Amino acid sequence: MPRNCFSRFPRSFCPLAAVFLAVIVAAAGCGSDNNASGPARYVPVTLKAMGVGGNEVAASGAGALRGMSELAAAVEGDTLPVTFTRAYLVVRDVRFKISGEVADTTGGGETDSTDFDDTDSTGVDEDDDDMGQVRFRGPFVIDLLAGTADSLDTQMAPPALYSRVQGHLRALRAGDWNASSYNFLLGSTVYLEGTVDGEGGGPFVWQSRIDNEFQIWGHFEVLEDTPVTTFLTFDISKWLRSREGGFLDPRIEDNDKWIRWAIRHNIKFDVDDDHDGEPDDD
C-alpha cells in the first residue's frame, strides 16, 4: 500500500492532523482578504501650471482663465502699458506637504510635517526623504503666454489632508534635461520680452536669476480612489507693479529687485474639486 503524508503517524492521529491542516488553510484565506482591504491606495495627483494677466492669455478667452476678466474689471482703466511677446518661468520643484495633525492612512501612524528638511532641492544638500510629502521634480519651464494650463507632472499620492504647497524658483542650468530647448533661459529663472506702450515706450527684454523658495498655505484633501488635478497660477499682470500699484518699467535697473519681489509674491494654488478641468478658485 503506498505511503501517504500521514503514514509516519498512528492512524488515530490522522483525523486531528486533517483538522489542523484545514485551520491553516482557512487562516491563509483570511490573510489574503485582509490584504485586499488593507491600507488606503495611493491616487494620481496631477500638477498643472499656467499664466494669467498677459495680453495673449487674455485674448484666448479660455474658460480656465476667467480670473483674468475678473482682474480687468477690478482695475478697469489701470492696465499695464505693456504688450508681452514672450514670458517664461523656471520652477525647480514643487512639494505638497501633509498636515501635521492628520492620521496616516497608509498604516504608519501619525505624520508630523514639522520634522521635514526644507533645504534646497536643486542638488545641494537635497533631502531625499519624501516621507510626509509629494514631490514633483523639475525643472519645469512654464510658457506663461500659452493660454493653456500645461501638465507638469503626475505623482502617486497618499490620501491625506495637505496643509501647504512649497517649491523653488531656480535658474535653468546647462545640465538640466530640457536645457537644449531653452538656450535663451540658461542661467536665468525668468524671461520677459515685449514692448512698453505709449510715449517714451519701446521694446525690452528682462531676464533675471531668482533663487527663492515659495510657500502657499491652505488645506486641501486627497481622497481615496479619487484622482486630483491641481494648478499653480502665475499672474503676470502683477509682476510689473510695485506694492503701491505703480508701474515698474523693466528697462529701469533700479526696478529689478521689486520685479523679483512681485514675481515671488504672486503665485496662487488651486484644486479642481468639481473635476471640470478648471481651477475652482476658492
Report residue 196 as a C-alpha cell.
Answer: 512698453
Q: What secondary structure letter does DSSP report for 186?
A: B
What pLDDT is stored for residue 277 in this prediction?
73
What pLDDT is stored for residue 131 in this prediction?
63
The residues of the chain scoring below 50 in pLDDT are: 1-9, 13-14, 16-36, 56-77, 101-128
What pLDDT is stored for residue 147 in this prediction?
84
Domain residue limits, the chain: 10-39, 43-271
CB 94 within 8 A of CB 166: yes
What pLDDT is stored for residue 107 in this prediction?
35
The per-residue pLDDT for range 2-34, each reduced to its tens digit, is 444 434 445 554 454 444 444 443 444 444 444
d(CA 120, CA 125): 7
Q: Which residues are CB-contacts of 177 (< 8 A; sequence separation ≥ 6)?
A: 139
What pLDDT is stored for residue 60 in this prediction?
33
- Give the angle 88-228-46 at the CA atoms, nearest 5°: 35
DSSP line for 254-277: GGHHHHHHHHHT-EEEEE-TT-SS
Compute φ and ψ for 189, nearest 5 degrees. -105, -35
3-state secondary structure of 97: strand
d(CA 151, CA 253): 34
CB 157 within 8 A of CB 45: yes
d(CA 150, CA 143): 9
The per-residue pLDDT for range 107-156, each reduced to its tens digit, is 333 323 222 233 333 333 344 455 689 999 999 999 999 988 999 999 99
What pLDDT is stored for residue 282 in this prediction?
53
d(CA 95, CA 78): 35
pTM, entire model: 0.70
